[in-house]
Structure 1
Amino acid sequence: MESLDIARWQFGITTVYHFFYVPLTIGLAPLVAIMQTQWVRTGDERWLKLTKFFGKLLLINFAIGVVTGIVQEFQFGMNWSEYSRFVGDVFGAPLAMEALAAFFVESTFLGLWIFGWDRLNKKVHLATIWLVAGATTLSAYFILAANSFMQHPVGARLNPETGRAEMESIWEVLTNSTVLAAFPHTITAAWLTAGTFVAGIAGWWMVREKRRGRPEVAEGVYRKGFRLGLWTMVIAGIGLAVSGDFQAKLMFEQQPMKMAAAEAICETPEGGTPFSILSIGDFSNDCENVNHILEIPGLTSFLASGDFNTQLLGINDLQAQYAEKYGEFDANGEVINYVPNLTITYWSFRLMIGWAAFSAALAAAGLWLTRKGRTPDNKWLGTLGLVAIPTPFLASSFGWIFTEMGRQPWVVVPNPNGITDIHMLTADGVTTVQGVGVVAASLAIFTLVYTFLTVIWARLIWRYMVQGAPEIVHDDSPEANPGRDSDPDAPLSFAY
């Protein structure tokens, strides 16, 4: 293997590990804020129990997410130094904005939320968790803006003297049509992840407490969390469908090769292009032995343009177009293959949709069984809740894999409208300094460390999940304890 192969594996592994935690933080922060809002608004301590319970799980996830995310940006200057040299002036701007305008706000107010239960006014303390929720969403926007430049470069020009991309308009970078499509899709996926997480845990506890003969806890505490998670899943599901449709049409316009690869369409079909539900065979890039078993006629054409009869170009025709426009051979005289890995692209797209179906099943079953004030004790419902919890994590991960692998072999995809002439092959972005041994060693170390952190995350989440919501909670706010002595010099106490 060459440095390019190992560097791609390393970035892919660390990214997927990190992105495993990101959707839960983005989605769970506003749900915890809603729980605390309900407590402040109604004074019902059952909402405070849920806030404390899921707030603790949020903190665990946030901490692991931060640790795994720090490494990401270092790789741009090490394994991908040529890429950073080429587009660093543009790509670095939204990353810096994410750190300064979003992450610092997120971290600061999360600290105030953790330590401020007995020191801040109740409404001021509530505002801190809402600021955390807003900052996590803003952070996601800046990260997606940077990634969207790689998918569809705008707002910059290529300096022929330096051979580098230079920023012309940060506004165009931040309002890239690609980020405007990716952002709502990513956020609603995060809501689906968090909604399933809350509903799965609360539903399991609801069934358990009802079967243990504690209906007041099952109905009064966990049913509230269960229903909140279920309705979050419904709203997120609608948002995912709408934003996903918009993304598909934009992908057809900006990255037709990714659209063709997602369906393993090698030859341009006559008329409308069907959507393949299941295909078998050899997914090598010639597609000679691929057999589309189950298809929905014209659906891919409809997803691409809104017309069932729109013709989509096949991979072979697109390969010829790309070779004519961007060159047939690389610097070493080898033929450039502009087709992404069909096996990964085809199946990651379907696994993204397929894993999300478990959340849909939990939402449908849960809303039906809890209708009209019912509190079910069906054991299978609690089991379904636990089974469904990891599925949106997997769906989000496969969606990210599809997005990144589908644009290969480009690290910066050419703008099809000719707005900019900025583009770069992945092979040209890897470092020319680091040897295979150095990159391989870092790959092994990072993989082991990230695996260890994931095991720690899973054990902590399970440990505090099985403890359940606290039986007794107190309103520690200053207005609820006006006569309590307070030493302003006393150290802050960790609320969890």
Structure 2
Amino acid sequence: MDVLDLARWQFGITTVYHFLMVPLTIGLSVLVACMQTAWVRTGNRRYLAMTKFWGKLLLINFAMGVVTGIVQEFQFGMAWSEYSRFVGDVFGAPLAMEGLIAFFVESTFLGLWIFGWDRLSKRVHLACVWAFSLATVVSAYFILAANSWMQHPVGVEMVDGRPRLTSIWEVLGNSTVLAAFPHAVAGAFAVAGAFLVGIAAWHLWRSTKDGSAKDGSTKDSDVWRASLRLGTLVGVVAFAGLAVSGDLQSRLMFEQQPMKMASAEALCHTEQPAGFSVFAVGDVSSPDCENVKSITVPALLSFLANGDLDSEVLGVNDLVEQYRERYGEFYPVDERLGELSGQPIDYVPNLPVTYWGFRLMIGFGAIGAAVGVLAWWVTRRGRVPRTRWFPRLALAAIATPFLGNSFGWIFTEMGRQPFVVAPNPTGVDGVWMFTAQAVSGLTVGEVLGSLIALTLVYGLLAVVEVVLIRRYVRGGVDAVLPPEDESTKDDKDDDVLSFAY
């Protein structure tokens, strides 16, 4: 491997790992705020137990997300310095805004929430968790605004070969981010919903598998049943939101990045009307796709792309010719490009990755929603299956929206290649950057060393997070909210998050 490949692997590994924490934090923070709101309004201990139990898991995940996310920005200067020079004038504003939100608003109100239970009034304390959770959502918007600019550059002018920011409002109001944000937020709630369903289903089954809990009571069953119902509702609504926002986003991609969407379908030749490939058998990486046999839905791709059943959809081969005319046939002669200097540009993304990544994104999301509906059905009217398939299926389904989110981002980023900043056919002309031009002038050994080190550290952090979450999940409500003592019942509610000290 050369420096470019190693740098891409390094950023890909750390980014996908970090993004496992991000959607859970976004979705779970809002749900915990809703749980605490219910407790403040009703005084019901069930909602207090839910707030404390899921709040502890949220804090563990949030801490790991912060640790792994900081490395992302370090890599811009470490392995992608040429990229940072090119986009620095644009990225400075949204990343600074995200930093202010994340490290000031989020951190401040999270601290007040953790340590303010016995110091702040209930309503002020509730306002803190809502400020933290909403700040988390806003923080995600600024990050998506920066990423969306890479997909669709707007609000800049070229000065001395580099984009200079002319309107931060165009960057923040980019049509790409307006489509990507609701899709990402829906994905976050899908993750949080599956997380609640899986863990609550396991606890519900464990507490009733012998007809009662081990101590002869079922005092916490209402906590797990309420959590499961909430997770199911959130997961199903989130999947519907993903379908609607995904449709809008795909139509925008057909306009802004037609090569990405043609690659997602392995559509090598232009078709009118174009069918949607449900499943393909054969080598989708073949440039002519002649040996690929697909199960297709006739004319559906034309409808998804243009809103009608008879429109033309350009294939990869025709798009390659257009890209060569617009952006050149050969890389510039530049020693920083290494072996690619002066070589022909391959404008076709990795077809197997884009084709199957697109389908795995959709498939895992659908599986997660389906398991949520099944869990709701089998637990209706107080029922709980006594067989082991129920908790095992629910726990396994926790991974499905995580995988769907990951494959979605892999498709989004890999489908943009060979550009790190994609050209904008509907915006500012002349603003693009090849990925090969963005990497730092490092040696293979330097990048390989950092890749190995970061992978090992992230692997260790993964073990730590799994151990911590497993420990507190197994502890259940009693681990975070001990049984009430009648002599101290009046002041128990004020010491909810003492576990966080």
**Partner Cα separation in structure 1 for residue 151 and residue 3 of structure 2:** 23
Which position in structure 1 is the counterpart of 2:101?
A: 101
Which position in structure 2 is the counterpart of 1:258?
A: 260
2:164 alignment partner, SS class: strand
**Partner Cα separation in structure 2 for residue 474 and residue 175 of structure 1:** 51
Whether 2:301 is the aligned partner of 1:303: answer no
CA, structure 1 residues 49+61, in 2 after alignment: closer, same or farther (shift >3 Å)?
same
Whether 2:237 is the aligned partner of 1:235: answer yes
Q: Name the amino acid aligned to 1:282.
A: D
Matches within 5 A, 1:96-135: 96-135=96-135
What's the offset of the Cα at 1:385? 1.1
Q: Name the amino acid aligned to 1:14.
A: T
1:199-237 residue CA offsets vs partner (Å, 9 max, x unmatched) = 110111112212231473354211011101111112111
Q: Name the amino acid aligned to 2:467.
A: R
Which position in structure 1 is the counterpart of 2:188?
A: 190
**Partner Cα separation in structure 2 for residue 493 and residue 241 of structure 1:** 41
What's the offset of the Cα at 1:473? 5.9
CA, structure 1 residues 419+163, in 2 after alignment: closer, same or farther (shift >3 Å)?
closer
2:367 alignment partner, SS class: helix
Whether 2:424 is the aligned partner of 1:423: answer no
1:116-154 residue CA offsets vs partner (Å, 9 max, x unmatched) = 111111111111111111011001000000000000000
Q: Is the 8 A contact 1:285 1:341 kept in 2?
A: no
Q: Name the amino acid aligned to 1:184.
A: P
Q: Is the 8 A contact 1:265 1:314 kept in 2?
A: yes
**Partner Cα separation in structure 2 for residue 287 and residue 79 of structure 1:** 35
Matches within 5 A, 1:334-483: 334-371=343-380, 373-379=381-387, 380-432=389-441, 434-470=442-478, 472=482, 481=491
Q: Is the 8 A contact 2:220 2:477 kept in 1?
A: no
**Partner Cα separation in structure 1 for residue 466 and residue 108 of structure 2:** 26
**Partner Cα separation in structure 1 for residue 20 and residue 491 of structure 2:** 41
Q: Is the 8 A contact 1:103 1:135 kept in 2?
A: no
1:37-69 residue CA offsets vs partner (Å, 9 max, x unmatched) = 111111111111111111111011001111000
1:328-371 residue CA offsets vs partner (Å, 9 max, x unmatched) = 11123211111111011111111111111221222221232344
Q: Is the 8 A contact 1:103 1:136 kept in 2?
A: no
Q: Is the 8 A contact 1:165 1:422 kept in 2?
A: yes
Which position in structure 2 is the counterpart of 1:489?
A: none
CA, structure 1 residues 42+493, in 2 after alignment: closer, same or farther (shift >3 Å)?
closer
Moved more, 362-371 or 235-244: 362-371
Superposed structure 1 runs of 4+ greater than 6 Å apart: none
Q: Is the 8 A contact 1:252 1:304 kept in 2?
A: yes
Matches within 5 A, 1:77-88: 77-88=77-88
The one of 247, 250, 253 equivalent to 1:248 is 250
Matches within 5 A, 1:164-313: 164-212=162-210, 213-214=212-213, 216-217=218-219, 219-269=221-271, 271-313=272-314
Which position in structure 1 is the counterpart of 2:61?
A: 61
Q: Name the amino acid aligned to 1:57.
A: L
- Unaligned segments of structure 2, at least 5 residues: 333-340
What's the offset of the Cα at 1:474? 6.6
CA, structure 1 residues 473+85, in 2 after alignment: closer, same or farther (shift >3 Å)?
farther
CA, structure 1 residues 493+54, in 2 after alignment: closer, same or farther (shift >3 Å)?
closer
What's the offset of the Cα at 1:248? 0.7
CA, structure 1 residues 473+168, in 2 after alignment: closer, same or farther (shift >3 Å)?
farther
2:403 alignment partner, SS class: helix
**Partner Cα separation in structure 1 for residue 446 and residue 253 of structure 2:** 36
1:397-447 residue CA offsets vs partner (Å, 9 max, x unmatched) = 000000000000000111112434211111111112x11111111111111
Q: Sequence identity, in percent? A: 59
Q: Name the amino acid aligned to 2:206.
A: R
1:217 alignment partner, SS class: coil
Q: Is the 8 A contact 1:210 1:218 kept in 2?
A: no
Q: Is the 8 A contact 2:60 2:468 kept in 1?
A: yes
1:309 alignment partner, SS class: coil
What's the offset of the Cα at 1:185? 0.2
**Partner Cα separation in structure 2 for residue 218 and residue 377 of structure 1:** 17
Q: Is the 8 A contact 1:151 1:412 kept in 2?
A: yes
Q: TM-score, normalised by structure 2?
A: 0.92
CA, structure 1 residues 410+473, in 2 after alignment: closer, same or farther (shift >3 Å)?
farther
- Equivalences, count: 481
**Partner Cα separation in structure 2 for residue 97 and residue 27 of structure 1:** 21
CA, structure 1 residues 288+369, in 2 after alignment: closer, same or farther (shift >3 Å)?
closer
Which position in structure 2 is the counterpart of 1:12?
A: 12
Which position in structure 1 is the counterpart of 2:324?
A: 323
Q: Name the amino acid aligned to 2:453.
A: I
- Unaligned segments of structure 1, at least 5 residues: 487-491
Q: Name the amino acid aligned to 1:387.
A: A
Moved more, 439-448 or 169-178: 439-448
Which position in structure 2 is the counterpart of 1:29?
A: 29
Q: Name the amino acid aligned to 2:49.
A: K
Q: Name the amino acid aligned to 2:353.
A: I
1:139 alignment partner, SS class: helix
**Partner Cα separation in structure 1 for residue 483 and residue 80 of structure 2:** 50
**Partner Cα separation in structure 1 for residue 64 and residue 313 of structure 2:** 43
**Partner Cα separation in structure 1 for residue 92 and residue 484 of structure 2:** 45
What's the offset of the Cα at 1:381? 2.4
Q: Name the amino acid aligned to 2:232.
A: L
Which position in structure 2 is the counterpart of 1:46?
A: 46
